[in-house]
Structure 1
Amino acid sequence: MQRYFACLMLCMTLARYAHAQHTVQGRVINAYTKEALVGATVQSQPSALATSTDQAGRFTLSASQPQETLAVSYLGYFSQQLPVQGQPLVVALVPAASQINQVVVSASREAQSRTEAPVAISSISAQVLHDTKATTLDQVLNKVSGVYMVNLGNEQHTMAIRQPIGYKSLFLYLEDGIPIRASGDFNHNALIEINQAALKNIEVIRGPASSLYGSEAIGGAVNFITLAPSPVLSAKVQLEASNQGYRRTDFSVSNTLGKVGVYAGGYYAAQRDGLISHSDFDKLAFTLRTDYQISDRSKLTTSATWVDYTTDQTGGLDSTRFFKKEYSSPHTFTYRQVEALRIRSTLAHSWDAQNQTQATLFFRQNAIGQNPFYAIANVSGNPRKAKGEINEDAFTSYGIIAQHRKQVSFLNASLIAGISADYSPATYTARFLDIDRSEDGTYTGYTAKDSLLTHYAVDLLNTAVYTQAEISPVERLKLVAALRYDRLDYAFDNYLPPSSFTGAPDKTDGYHQFSPKLGLTYDFGKSNGLYANYSVGFAPPQITELYRGVQAPTLQPSDYRSYELGGWWSFWQQKAYLDLSVYQMDGTNEIISVRLADGTYLNQNAGRTRHRGLEFTWQASLVEALTLRVGGTYARHWFRHFVERGQDYSGHEMATAPRYIGNTEITYKPLFLPGLRLSAEWQRVGRYYMDPANSETYQGYHLFHARMGYAFHGVEAWVNVINLTHELYATTVDKFAYGKSYRQGVPRTFTVGLGYQFTAKGKQL
C-alpha cells in the first residue's frame, strides 16, 4: 500500500511540474528574404529567460509561468517586441539600414561584424534591393560610395571602382565567394550572368582583395550572395513594364521540410523597340538551391544557376548623332549571346567551438558568341566596305576551394588557411566577315567567309594557397595579417599557322604572385572605430591579351600596392553614422587598352600609375520615418610614367576617370500608413578627360530618380522614374583619332510593377 501511495504522489508531482511548464516556440526570419536568422537573441517576459536561434532559425523557451511578450534582436536588424499569441511564432525582423555594424562574409569568407574587418566594405542589404526594385544592377551598386557601374544597355556594363572607367579585368565578380568566370579569361561583362531575382544582398570590397581571392581583385571585389531556402513556405511573382519597351517577370518558391530546404527562382526580361534602334534583348535566369542540415554541426549547400542571354549589340554615337538625339544605330546585325551554367556544392562542418571547415566543389560551363560592333573596321579607300568578325569564347571549369578556421584562446586569436584550384580549358574561334556599308555609314549586312581569323585552345590552371591570422593583443584592438600565393599557368595551342591575325605560336606561360595584406581595427565603443591596411593586388594578362594577334608587345602582369586608412563614427544616439576611407594605390605595368585610328584596340603596359581618393557615406535616421544617405568619392587617377606611340603622357590624368562621383538619397516611410515608401535619389558623375592627352573633357551629368511603392497583405505595387528631368547624358565618352564616341544614357523612364508574395503562417517547424 505504501508503495502504491508513493507512486501516486510521484505521478501527481510530475504532472504538476509538467503542467507548470509553459513553452514558447517559433522561428526568426528576415522580413524581406524570408531566410532564417541564425543566432538571433530571443528573450521572454516576465521570466527574462533568453535563448538563441539555431541553424534553422528555431527557438524554444520554457518557463514555469505563462509568458506575455518576446523581445527579439539580431545584429544589423531592428529589434522587435511582440505578444505571445499562437504557437509557433514566426518573427520577421526588418534590416536596419542606418546601422553600420552589419554582418559581412566577404572580408574573410566567414561571417563577422563589419567593424572587425580592416577593409573598405559596403553591404547592399535585402531591404535596399527590395525597395529599389532595380531593373539593372547599376541602380543599386551606384548607391555605394566609390562605385560607378556604367550601364551600356541591356544589362551590359563596365565598371569603375578606384579605377577609371574601363574594360579591363580589374574587378573580381563573385557569386557566394566563387568567381563567376575563370580568372584569366576576360571577366568583363560577367554580371550579365547574374540572376538578379535570386539575390539576398551584395557586398562590395573596395581596393585590392587578392590576399583572399587572388587575381583581378584590384579595384575591388563584388560578391553577390544568393537567397537561402526560407524556413516556411513562401512564393513570389512580380511583373514589370516600362515606357521604353522593357518587360520583366520574376518568380520564386521556397520551403523547408525537415532537414532539407529548397529555393527555386529567377526572371525573364525582354527589351523591344527601345530608344536606340537594333537594341532588343532577351534573358532567362534561373537558380535552384538546396540546403541539407545534416546535423547541428554539418550543412551541405548545393546550387545551380542557368543563364540564357541574347542581345543586339550597339556601339556609341558620334557627336552629331548624340547631340541631335538621332538614336538610329549604324550597327544593324551585331549581337552578343551568352549561355552560362554554374554549379557549386559546399560542405560546412563545425568540429567544435574552435574549429570549422568548409569545402566547395564548383563547375562552370560558359559560351559567349558575338558579332561584336567594336571589331568592325572600315576598309581604307572603299567607303562602302568594312570588315569584322564572328567569334565565340567558351570554357569549362572544374574547381575546389577549401578553408579551415581555428580559434585560439591566447590573445583571442584565429587562423584561417585555405587552398584553391581551378582548371578551365578554353577555346576561342573567330571567323572573318565581309561587311557592306551604306552611304550614310550604316553597316547593312555581312557575308561570313570560310577563312578563320583565330582558332585556338588554352588549358588554364589557377592554383593557390592562402592564410590569414587575426589577434587581439589588447582589448578593442585587432591585428590582421594575410598572405596568398597564386600560380596561373597557360598552355596555348594554336590550331592555325601563327601570324598577326591568327595569333601567337604554341607556347606555355606561367605567372606567380605573393599577395600580402596587413591591417588593424580599433573599436572605441559605441559604434566608433578606425582601421588601416596595406594590401597588394595583381592581374596577369588575359588569354586574349596574350595570344590573340602578335602585334602587341609582350605583356607583363599588373601589380598594385594599396595604402588605406578609414573609420566609422556614430552620432545622435546611433541614429546617424559616417563611414570614411582614404587610399592611395600605385600600379605597375597596368594594362591599358588603346583605340587605334581604324577603330580597333591595342593592349599596352602603362608603366606606372597612381590612384588616390577619399570615399564617404553619411547616413541618418533622425526621425523614425525619414532616412537620409549622402555618399561620394573624390579621386584622381594619373600616369606616373606612360609612353604611347612615341607620345609621353607621364603626369597626365588617365582618360575616363571622373574626379567626383556622388549619390544621395532620401527615403520616407510614413508611420501613419505602413507599407508606403517614397524616395528621391540624386546621382552625380563629375568631369573627366576623354583621352590620355587631356585635350578635351566631358562635364559629366546630374541625374534624379524617384520611387514610390506600397505593400499591403503581400500585394505590392510600385512606380519608379529614372532620369526624372530627362537629361541628355552619356554614361561614358571616349575620344580617338577620328572622333568621339558617346554611350547614350537612359532617357526618362517610367517602370510600373505589381507583385504578390505569399508566406505561410502555419506550424512548419
Structure 2
Amino acid sequence: FTGEGHSMSIRQPLSTANYFLYMEDGVPVRPMGLFNHNGLIETNLMMINSIEVVKGPVSSIYGPEAVGGAINLITNRPTAVPTLKVGLQGDQFNFRRLQFGGGGTLGRLGVYVGGYLSDQKNSWRERSDYVKNAVNVKAEYQLSGRTRLTGVYAYNDYKGQEGLSFDSTAFYSRSYETSQDFMYRNVKAIRSRLTLDHSWNANAETFVTAFHRFNDYRFAPNHTVRWTTGAKTATSEKQRSIFNSYGLIAQHTQRFAFLNTKLLIGGTYDDTPTRYNAFSIDLAAETRADGRSVRKYTYLNDRPDVKLGDYEAKIHNTGLYSQLEFSPLKALRVTAGLRYDRMSFDYDNFLDKKSGMKAYQQVSPKVGMVYDLGRGRGLYANYGLGFAPPSLTAIFRLRPSVQQVAGQDPFYYNLEPAHFENMEVGGWFSALQNKLYADISIYRLNGRNELLSIRQVDNSTDYQSVGRTLHQGVEFGLTYKPSAEWLIRVGGANALHRFEDFQLSVRQADVVKNLSGKEMPSAPRWIVNTEVFYKPRWLKGFRAAAEWQRLTPFYLNQINTVRYDDRGAFGVPGVSVINTRLGYERKGVELFMNVLNLTDELYISSASRGNNANDRTNFSPSAPRTVGFGVQYTVAGKAR
C-alpha cells in the first residue's frame, strides 16, 4: 500500500472487508454503513497514547462491524506539568515528518495538542507522493471533584497519489516505474466531541458524549481498472463520498456489593446524511509484447455521463446495550452482555430513479467467564454473536456488465447482513518468578452471508454473499524477560479461513462453480511476529531491537490454483522480513534509526488474482530496505 494505506487481519484473512471497528477514545471513526478499510488514514498517529485491541466479535458492547475485532485508539490527556516534544524524522526515500505534542494543566483546565506534518516525494516507486497534516486538541475542565468536561477536535487532511499494482514482469525485475498517471486519494476528516463524565459516588458513574464527524473522500482507486486481454483501451473510475454525522453516546455503570456485581447500560444514536457518486474514465492501454498484460495505462478523459454509482442517503444508527459482571465464586468472574442494533436509511438512487428505505437489525448476545487459578494463571471462555450490514457503496453499486442478466436488478438491493458466531477458550500463565508469561486462545468463528468481492474477466468486481464460512485457529503470545536488559516477545496465530458453502457461479461457461471446501485467498496459515529488545545497563538511555515478521504461503485466488510462496529472509517461503531499531536518549534528546527490511527482500504487501484461466496476478510490492532516522526533543516542567 502507498502512503498510509493499510489492511487488517484479526480472525479474518488479510482483508479490506468491513469486519473491523476503528475507534478513537471509544467513538467510532466512521458511522456504520460507511466503512473504509483505510480508516486509520483519518487518525493522528502523534496523538495516540495507547491502543486497545479486542479480538473476535464484541458486538455486545461496541456494536456491528466489530466482528474480526475492535481497535480503539486511546489519545493523550493533558499532562500534570507543562510538557513539550518536537521531532523530525525521515528516510532515504524522501519521507519527512515534523511531529509535535505538548500540554499542561493550569488550575481546573488541562490542554494537550499533538500532530504532525508529513510528506513523501519521488520515493522508491513512482506515483507514491503524499502529504498529510494532522492535529488534535483535547481540553479537560474539572467542573467539580466529581464532574469533568472534555472537548476534542481532530483535523486530518491527506492528499496522495495512488500506485497501481504491477504485473509479474515489473514486480520481479523491481521496475516500479509508473504504470498509470491518474490515480489519487484525497481525504479530509474532521471530528469533534464533547464528553461529560460524572461520578455519583464510589459505585456509580455516568458519561454522555455528543460528537460530530465530517468526511470528504475523493478517490481514483487502483482496484477499479477494467481491461480485457489484448485490448488497447481500458476504463477506470473516479469516486467522491461525503458524510456529515451527528451522534450521542450515553453510558451508566453501577456497582453492587452482592457478588461484586457491576452493571453497565448504554445507548448510542447517530444521524448521517451522505452523498456518493462515481463515474467512468477512459484509458489507453499499452500492452506488453504478448498482449496478455499491460505495461502502462494513460488517462484520456472523464466520462461523467457513464455513471457507476450516484445516490443520496440519510443513515440512522441506533444501539442499546447492557452488560452484567458478577463473581459467584471468589476466583470466577462471569460476564453477560446483550446489544440491539438497527441501521436504517432513506435513499434516493439517481441511476434507477428509485427512492425508499432499508433497515437491518440484530440482537447480539455475549457471555463469558474468567477463572483465576492464582499465581499468575487463569482460564477463560467466551461465546458471542457478530453482525455486519453491507456498506451503502456495495448496495448502490451498478453490477459489472459481465454479471448483468436480463430481469435481474442491476444493483445490490438484496444484499443481506453478515452474521457470525464466535466460540473461544483460552488461558494464561506466568513462570520462572514472572520472567515468563504466556497466553493462548482457541477460537472458532462461523460466518453466514459473508460479503465477498469476486474479480471478473475484465478486472471489475461483483459482490456476492457467501452461504457459510469458517474461521478457526489458535492465537498465542509469549513474553520472556531473562534479565533487566533483555526482553523476548513472540506473538501470532495459526488459522484456517475456508469457504464451507459457497456457490460461485451458475453460468455453464465457468469451469469452477462451487468453492465449498476451498481456502480463502490472502489467508496464511501462520502469522508470527518475533521481537528481541536490549537495553544495556552499561549505556543508560540506549535501546536496540530486532524483529522478524513471518507469513507462511497463501492462495491468491478463490479457486486455490495459485499460491504466493516466494522465499524471503532465511530462505523460508511466504513473507519473511527482518527489521531493526536503535535509539539513544539523553537529557531529553532522543536519536533513533530504524532499518526496515534489513536484508532487502522482494516481497508483497498484497497480491490478488482472478479465477479465470487467462487472469494474471497483480502484485503490490513492499518497500525495499528502508533506513529511517530521526531526532526528538522533550522538555517538561517541574511539579509544584
Pairwise TM-score range, normalised by the shorter structure:
over 0.9
**Match for 1:319: what amino acid?**
S
Alignment-derived partner of residue 7 in structure 2: 158
* Unaligned ranges ≥5, structure 2: 289-293, 399-408, 507-512, 566-573
Alignment-derived partner of residue 343 in structure 2: 488
**Maintained 8 Å contact 1:264/1:286:** yes
Shift of 1:479: 0.4
Alignment-derived partner of residue 680 in structure 1: 546
* Identity score, percent: 40
- In the aligned structure 2, how far is the partner of 1:327 from the partner of 1:380? 22
- In the aligned structure 2, how far is the partner of 1:201 from the partner of 1:228? 11
**Maintained 8 Å contact 1:429/1:452:** no
Alignment-derived partner of residue 434 in structure 1: 282
Which stretch has the larger CA shift, 684-693 or 372-381? 372-381
- In the aligned structure 2, how far is the partner of 1:439 from the partner of 1:685? 33
Q: Does 1:451 align with 2:311?
A: no
**Maintained 8 Å contact 1:552/1:604:** no
- In the aligned structure 2, how far is the partner of 1:160 from the partner of 1:240? 28
Shift of 1:382: 4.5
Shift of 1:438: 3.6
Q: Does 1:397 align with 2:245?
A: yes
The match for 1:734 among 582, 604, 608 is 608
Alignment-derived partner of residue 201 in structure 2: 352
User: Where do residues 162-181 of structure 1 align in structure 2 (5 Å cutoff)?
Assistant: 162-181=11-30
Q: Does 1:257 align with 2:106?
A: yes
**Maintained 8 Å contact 2:499/2:520:** yes
Shift of 1:742: 1.1
Change (3 A) 1:450 1:633: closer
- In the aligned structure 1, how far is the partner of 2:318 from the partner of 2:340? 8
User: Where do residues 272-287 of structure 1 align in structure 2 (5 Å cutoff)?
Assistant: 272-287=121-136
- In the aligned structure 1, how far is the partner of 2:225 from the partner of 2:545? 43
- In the aligned structure 1, how far is the partner of 2:630 from the partner of 2:257? 53
Alignment-derived partner of residue 461 in structure 1: 316
Secondary structure at the aligned position of 1:415 is classed as strand
The match for 2:515 among 642, 649, 652 is 649
User: Where do residues 92-491 of structure 1 align in structure 2 (5 Å cutoff)?
Assistant: 152-378=1-227, 382-383=231-232, 385-438=233-286, 441=294, 442-451=296-305, 453=307, 454-491=309-346
**Match for 2:559: what amino acid?**
A
- In the aligned structure 1, how far is the partner of 2:554 from the partner of 2:53? 24
- In the aligned structure 2, how far is the partner of 1:667 from the partner of 1:694? 39
Alignment-derived partner of residue 510 in structure 2: none
Shift of 1:551: 3.6
Shift of 1:370: 1.1
Alignment-derived partner of residue 606 in structure 1: 466
Alignment-derived partner of residue 441 in structure 2: 581
Change (3 A) 1:450 1:606: closer
Q: Does 1:528 align with 2:377?
A: yes
Secondary structure at the aligned position of 1:673 is classed as coil
The match for 1:721 among 587, 595, 598 is 595
Q: TM-score, normalised by structure 2?
A: 0.93
Deviation per CA, 1:157-213, whole angstroms, max 9, x where unpaired?
111110012221011111111110111112211110110001000011110011111
After superposition, the CA RMSD in angstroms is: 1.3
The match for 1:562 among 416, 422, 428 is 422
**Match for 1:425: what amino acid?**
P
Shift of 1:455: 2.2
Count residues in correspondence: 605
Deviation per CA, 1:238-258, whole angstroms, max 9, x where unpaired?
001101221111012211001
Secondary structure at the aligned position of 2:36 is classed as coil
Alignment-derived partner of residue 706 in structure 1: 580
Secondary structure at the aligned position of 2:523 is classed as coil
**Match for 2:252: what amino acid?**
H
Change (3 A) 1:734 1:431: closer
Shift of 1:538: 0.7
**Maintained 8 Å contact 1:489/1:508:** yes
Which stretch has the larger CA shift, 717-726 or 505-514? 505-514
Structure index of larger Rg = 1
Deviation per CA, 1:15-68, whole angstroms, max 9, x where unpaired?
xxxxxxxxxxxxxxxxxxxxxxxxxxxxxxxxxxxxxxxxxxxxxxxxxxxxxx
Q: TM-score, normalised by structure 1?
A: 0.78
**Maintained 8 Å contact 1:379/1:387:** no
- In the aligned structure 1, how far is the partner of 2:245 from the partner of 2:411? 28
Alignment-derived partner of residue 749 in structure 1: 626
Which stretch has the larger CA shift, 152-161 or 427-436? 427-436
Deviation per CA, 1:95-122, whole angstroms, max 9, x where unpaired?
xxxxxxxxxxxxxxxxxxxxxxxxxxxx
- In the aligned structure 1, how far is the partner of 2:212 from the partner of 2:539? 48
- In the aligned structure 2, how far is the partner of 1:639 from the partner of 1:375? 25
Deviation per CA, 1:447-491, whole angstroms, max 9, x where unpaired?
123415132101111001000001101101110000000010021
Alignment-derived partner of residue 85 in structure 1: none
Change (3 A) 1:590 1:362: same
Deviation per CA, 1:540-568, whole angstroms, max 9, x where unpaired?
01101111225455211100000011111
- In the aligned structure 2, how far is the partner of 1:297 from the partner of 1:757? 32
Change (3 A) 1:694 1:494: same
Shift of 1:401: 0.6
Deviation per CA, 1:396-427, whole angstroms, max 9, x where unpaired?
11001100011111111110000110111100
Shift of 1:293: 1.4
**Match for 1:744: what amino acid?**
P
Change (3 A) 1:181 1:625: same
**Match for 1:654: what amino acid?**
M
**Match for 1:481: what amino acid?**
A
Secondary structure at the aligned position of 1:622 is classed as coil
- In the aligned structure 1, how far is the partner of 2:149 from the partner of 2:164? 45
Secondary structure at the aligned position of 1:320 is classed as helix
- In the aligned structure 1, how far is the partner of 2:515 from the partner of 2:605? 25
**Match for 2:344: what amino acid?**
D
- In the aligned structure 2, how far is the partner of 1:593 from the partner of 1:536? 23
Alignment-derived partner of residue 593 in structure 1: 453
- In the aligned structure 1, how far is the partner of 2:410 from the partner of 2:557? 22
Shift of 1:517: 0.2
Alignment-derived partner of residue 101 in structure 1: none
- In the aligned structure 1, how far is the partner of 2:270 from the partner of 2:432? 49
- In the aligned structure 1, how far is the partner of 2:470 from the partner of 2:74? 32
Alignment-derived partner of residue 616 in structure 1: 476
**Maintained 8 Å contact 2:235/2:283:** yes
Which stretch has the larger CA shift, 407-416 or 731-740? 731-740
Shift of 1:762: 4.8
- In the aligned structure 1, how far is the partner of 2:186 from the partner of 2:255? 47
**Maintained 8 Å contact 1:403/1:419:** yes
Shift of 1:344: 1.1
Q: Does 1:668 align with 2:522?
A: no
**Maintained 8 Å contact 1:552/1:602:** no
Shift of 1:371: 1.6
Q: Does 1:632 align with 2:483?
A: no
Shift of 1:379: 6.3
Shift of 1:579: 1.2
Secondary structure at the aligned position of 1:479 is classed as strand
Secondary structure at the aligned position of 2:169 is classed as helix
- In the aligned structure 1, how far is the partner of 2:519 from the partner of 2:545? 36
Shift of 1:389: 2.0
